[in-house]
Chains A and B, each alone.
Chain A
Amino acid sequence: MKLQEHLVEIQAHRTKVLAIHCEGSRRGTKEFSDKRKFGFPLANDDRLNVVDKYSVTSTYLIDSKGIVQARWLDRVHDRVDGATILKALAEINPGEK
């Protein structure tokens, strides 16, 4: 399932989504974002400042204390799905839905 299809449920866990794109130009990322309307912010990092601290093509769950709670190194067309993210969120926020 696409990430945006679980966005409401993810947000219910007091969790935000931020996507960082580093394989396109800034203009390309902006046009892509405007066209697709993902429902979460999209930033361009083609100068590699942030991705250098993390990794390309990956997804991280960072809790409200700034600790990495989950990490997924994704495949090309097989990203971690929303259900898996929700399961991880439920484990760190058992009282919330």
Chain B
Amino acid sequence: MKSARSAHAILQMISSLLLLLYPTLSESQDDAERARKRDETFVGKTAWQMDDKLGEKWQELTGRFIFQRSCLSCHTRGPAAYARTKWQETLGTFPDDTHNDLLPEEYRDLTAMFSYGSMMPNDQSRTQALRTFLQRHAPATAAEESAPDSLRSVDLLPQVGDEAPPFSIVDVDGVTHDLDVYAQKGESLILVFSRAHW
């Protein structure tokens, strides 16, 4: 009888321990699943991870996307509206308390987006991406700032109604895709830039 009670107590202890550990185990499983998906998608290193100049370009591209998607959801001026020094000053404390309160959910979403490829894993890297983008596109001095009410250069991506930028790229099977050829064939194109979540 005594041994049965002991066994019961031991089982209770084990089950309590398992309950305590369950969130950790569950998180570990989630982490493992994320790692598996990451490895499946990101086998090997990209060119921009091995080349400093391309790495900087990648930062600029991600900074441009963050600016477009997040900053312009509240602000109406593009990088050309202020001199580099002013942007540097602004980003020196970014994200400040005001922005932390106001940042839309999608801004946080962008952090998740760029943490997956390990290039934009935290606030510091995200700010660096914005800084890289703005330094490339902001005028060097205040004297060169565009008119304050100018909205020009706010949207730096191809817009609806624009002629699509020409490109030619070889796919994984060795087939060349040229934008002009689609047009010659009278075909429209859905062009997807993705992290492979289809």
Could you tell me which A residues sit within 8 Å of B by CB distance?
2-4, 10, 13-36, 38, 41-71, 73-77, 79, 85, 89, 92-93
Determine if B196 and A3 form an interchain contact, defined as CB atoms under 8 angstroms apart.
Answer: no
Determine if A50 and B169 form an interchain contact, defined as CB atoms under 8 angstroms apart.
Answer: yes
Q: With A and B bound together, what is the CA distance between A26 and B183 in angstroms?
A: 27
Closest 10 A/B residue pairs (Cβ): A28-B43, A25-B44, A53-B165, A46-B46, A41-B171, A15-B188, A43-B171, A30-B172, A46-B47, A19-B192
Q: Would you call B117 an interface residue if the criterion is a C-beta within 8 Å of the partner chain's C-beta atoms?
A: yes
Q: With A and B bound together, what is the CA distance between A57 and B198 in angstroms?
A: 12
The tally of CB-CB contacts under 8 A between chains A and B is 221
How many whole Å from A63's CB to the nearest CB in chain B?
A: 5
CB nearest neighbor in B for A25: B44
Main secondary structure of the interface of B (DSSP, over half): mixed
How many whole Å from A22's CB to the nearest CB in chain B?
A: 7
Q: With A and B bound together, what is the CA distance between A28 and B183 in angstroms?
A: 30
From B65, B160, B173, B183, A66 is in contact (CB under 8 Å) with B183
Question: Would you list which residues of chain B between 62 and 86 have a CB under 8 Å from chain A?
Answer: 62, 64-65, 68-69
Q: Would you call B27 an interface residue if the criterion is a C-beta within 8 Å of the partner chain's C-beta atoms?
A: no
- Residues of A within 8 Å of B190, CB to CB, are 3, 10, 15-18, 59-61, 85
From B172, B180, B186, A33 is in contact (CB under 8 Å) with B172
Given the known interface contacts A20-B191, A23-B117, the answer about A62 and B182 at a Cβ–Cβ threshold of 8 Å is: yes
- Residues of B within 8 Å of A43, CB to CB, are 169-172, 177
Determine if B113 and A57 form an interchain contact, defined as CB atoms under 8 angstroms apart.
Answer: yes
Q: Mark B148-190, 1 if CB is under 8 A from A, else 0.
A: 0000000001111111111101111101010110110111111
Q: With A and B bound together, what is the CA distance between A66 and B185 in angstroms?
A: 11
- Residues of B within 8 Å of A47, CB to CB, are 47-48, 54
